[in-house]
Amino acid sequence: MRYRTLGRTGVQVSTLALGAMNLGAIGRTTQDDATAIVDAALEAGINLVDTADWYSAGQSEELVGRAIAGRRDDVVLATKAVMPMSDEPNHRGSSRRWLTRALDDSLRRLGVDHVDLYQVHRWDPETSDEETLAALTDLQRAGKIRYLGSSTFPAYRIVQAQWAARERGLSRYVTEQPSYSALQRGVEAHVLPVAQEYGLGVLAWSPLASGWLSGAVRAGRPVTTHRSGVLPERFDLEVPANRARLDAVEQLAKVAADAGLTLIQLALGFVTAHPGVTSALIGPRTPEHLRAQLDAADTVLDDDVLDAIDAIVPPGVDLAPGEKFDEPPALLDAALRRR
């Protein structure tokens, strides 16, 4: 396992990090499954575990907390807030009122007194940066948070938050967590350069493109990934973006085979090759999935392999632009751009 410095924090984290979204109801994993996955990940040298209050309505945090009990100091523990936790309109967002409660709820579920990285899961257009950063700064000074991070922020919002922190003398986000894979490269155009400019650590989520790069989705093979039941539109081959993805996957699989790699090794090696990326967040649902992904821990792609990937999916291009998750609200809601 290789390690890199998380932005400018001085904290060393593994280049593969354990994402816990599939631990719980989403991935149909039990406590025994979760503990086995965490055990194997830590034994392999992974030292960063990332979860969120929203994952399976808090169940992921509970499973992670039990799995790391007794070895908390060996884990760089990250979680997130902002996504809705109930139908109550104030049980979401990045207001001081909600973040204060959400963090206490997360600490209780995790069974810890602090988290190493607390991330704003999505930019909240209803709340000012100053409000959010002031609340997080106070929680950091109270010893409940070591570092602050953002997740899936558009590049211009990353910049705005950095300036708000500087202008008001508040703690700043030291990490960003974008979606990034060989099939979704849009963040190369703006988000990753901005993160590098501000010295942010980058934890890339969905490096296997929601299973498209796991080897489970191939031409002539039925889609068996569990995600097809949750988000079937992402695997419907009647959708042009999905046909484009399938075509790219077939070409990438050949590049991998010619290089003596699995498709998973190629995909994870691609993400960790970018100089702006600190870690790729893998999200195994079973110990078997984890073992296949750990094979990529030391994968370093040659320049000719990276060039071949560029020829299939050009730099800065998203094959499924509708899944960017960081579009400004005015591009999604006509009422926000019309008078």
DSSP letters, 36-49, are: HHHHHHHHTT--EE
pLDDT given for residue 224 in this prediction: 55
pLDDT-based confidence at 44, cuts 50/70/90? Answer: very high
**What mean pLDDT comes out for the span 232-236?**
78
How far is Cα 157 from Cα 153, in angstroms, rounded to an integer? 6
pLDDT given for residue 202 in this prediction: 98
- pLDDT tens-digit series, residues 49-61: 999 999 999 999 9
**What mean pLDDT comes out for the span 71-77?**
96
pLDDT-based confidence at 107, cuts 50/70/90? Answer: very high
pLDDT given for residue 228 in this prediction: 44
**What mean pLDDT comes out for the span 249-259?**
97
Q: Which of 3, 55, 173, 180 is catalytic?
A: 55
Which residue has 């980058």 as its token pair? Answer: 202
pLDDT given for residue 324 in this prediction: 76
Q: Quick one: tokens of 281?
A: 């967040």
pLDDT for residue 235 is more than 90: no
CA nearest neighbour of 144 among 172, 116, 111: 116
pLDDT for residue 308 is more than 60: yes
| Residue 82, φ and ψ in degrees, nearest 5 | 130, -40
pLDDT for residue 11 is more than 60: yes
- pLDDT tens-digit series, residues 182-231: 999 999 999 999 999 999 999 999 999 999 999 888 877 766 544 444 56
Which residue has 């090794």 as its token pair? Answer: 265
pLDDT given for residue 226 in this prediction: 45
pLDDT for residue 272 is more than 80: yes
pLDDT given for residue 327 in this prediction: 75
User: By percentage, how much of the chain surpasses pLDDT 70?
Assistant: 96
Q: Quick one: tokens of 17?
A: 């990090």
55 carries an active-site annotation: yes
pLDDT given for residue 218 in this prediction: 82
Amino acid at 249: V
pLDDT given for residue 330 in this prediction: 80
Q: Which residues pair with 177 in a beta bridge?
A: 151
> Residues with Cβ < 8 Å from 229, sequence gap 6 or more?
none
* pLDDT, mean over the chain: 94
pLDDT-based confidence at 181, cuts 50/70/90? Answer: very high
Q: In the chain, how long is the greatest CA-to-CA distance?
A: 57
**What mean pLDDT comes out for the span 95-117?**
98
Q: Which domains does the chain have, with CATH numbers?
A: 3-210+268-302 (3.20.20.100)
**What mean pLDDT comes out for the span 329-336?**
80
